[in-house]
Amino acid sequence: MQARVEAEIAEAVAIADLAAEHEWTADARIDVVGKRAVRIGADGTALVDEFLPLEVAALKGVSVSAATWLIRDIVNLKTRHPLLWFQTLQGLVPVYRAVQLVQEAAKLDLTIEQARELDALLAPKVPGLPWGRLLKLAKGLIAQVAAPKIAQLSQEARQARFVRKLPTDDPLVAYLSCRVDTRDAIYFDAQVDRIADLLAAHGDTDPKEVLRAKAVGILATPARAQLMLQEAAGVIGTIRATDPRLVPAATVYVHVAEETLLTGHGTCRVEGVGPLSATLLSVLLGHERITLAPVIRPYAQISVDSYEIPDRIRRQILLRDSVEVFPWSSRSPRTSQLDHTRPWRPGVKNQTRASNLGPLSTRPHRGKTHGNWQLEQPRPGIFWWTSPTGHRYRVGPHGTTPMFRHEKFQHGDQIQWDTDHKHKPPPPDGGDPQP
């Protein structure tokens, strides 16, 4: 693994050096007949010899187009994202992942000033986050540094909405493909689920996915769908189309920072949707009935003696742990099991509490129970894993830190760092929220 990382870094450096050797200065004379200068990279990158991609294409055995894209990405990375480039050279982020982050900025035509701002905001988060979380963070930060551009693209996306019927191999079934407002998609999905449940309640024994497909057919005949919903709501007689009892209940989780609430500017995180500019939140939510949930304190001390986990503690953990707590995971905690860090024992009080629980999917959960993976939670939301081979990982709100060859002090949540370790040590408190 280390050899592969070093080889990828060496290739990236070689391409960057080759591009630098073929740069054209600002006062260079341009020959419209012979050699010409082109800008392969995005805003802020230097002009280079137009024949540079030929060298790389021949060396790597790829097409000239592929070589041009590769040079473009490396030049953009080095010039427009110097902090990310430095982390790439240190092996803290794979070259291909750094390139993907750079492409996110380039495809939105960020200026070099916006790219540098994105670089400064993103770089501190890179070492500890798995790719899924890092990409979502990058998109959220792009929405923050280039809000007008994102708003324009969102408007263009809404103008490209459609619904199409597509054939399949069997003439009796078809695909429905659509691009609609996220709000409408959420409501439609909730209504499909609701009618599928009504079909099951009426005795239909088909699997849930088949029932959902039948529900789409029922929604295609609105009068039948309305009658089913009226009967389920216990409504007798006529009912207006605007009656709220016909509207499905849909839950949307929106995470908003305090400064965004105060200023009205910034980025929100919508679970299952992604980052969204605060100014576009009204488009997502519309003007439908909205019920605000009370603020939940993720680090409040709440405990029970039972093995079963009450909803108030479950909600606490889902807000505290935005992803599964296994190293480098990006899985949603809402689809995971809540595991007792220290196994539950009958007769011991206060075992079921947030500081002794964490979301785990099935395989990591089984690995902890049966596969000799050891887990500690010295502070709420801070998880120390030890693999069967002795490798240790620290997982917290800001991601994963591998602690190979590093021993933990006996007191608190502190680490003895070797001088040859490439990562900087965390602050004394780990940089995490205190309980």
pLDDT class of 435 with cuts at 50, 70, 90: very low
249-296 per-position pLDDT tens digit: 677 778 877 777 777 777 788 877 777 777 777 777 765 566 666 666
CB 99 within 8 A of CB 73: yes
Mean pLDDT for the chain overall:
83
Burial of 93 (0-12, 13-18, 19+ CB in 10 A): buried
Got the DSSP string for 371-396?
S--EEEEEETTEEEEE-TTS-EEEEE
Q: How far apart are CA 399 and CA 126, in angstroms?
A: 9
pLDDT class of 231 with cuts at 50, 70, 90: confident
150-160 per-position pLDDT tens digit: 888 888 888 99
Out of 35-44, 347-356, 377-386, 419-428, which region has the weakest mean confidence (pLDDT)? 419-428
Specify the pLDDT at position 409.
34
- Stated pTM of the model: 0.68
Instruction: Quickly list H helices, 49-111.
Output: 52-60, 64-80, 82-89, 95-106
Burial 229-258 (b: 16+ CB within 10 A, else e): bbebeeeeeeeeeeeeebeeeeeeeeeeee
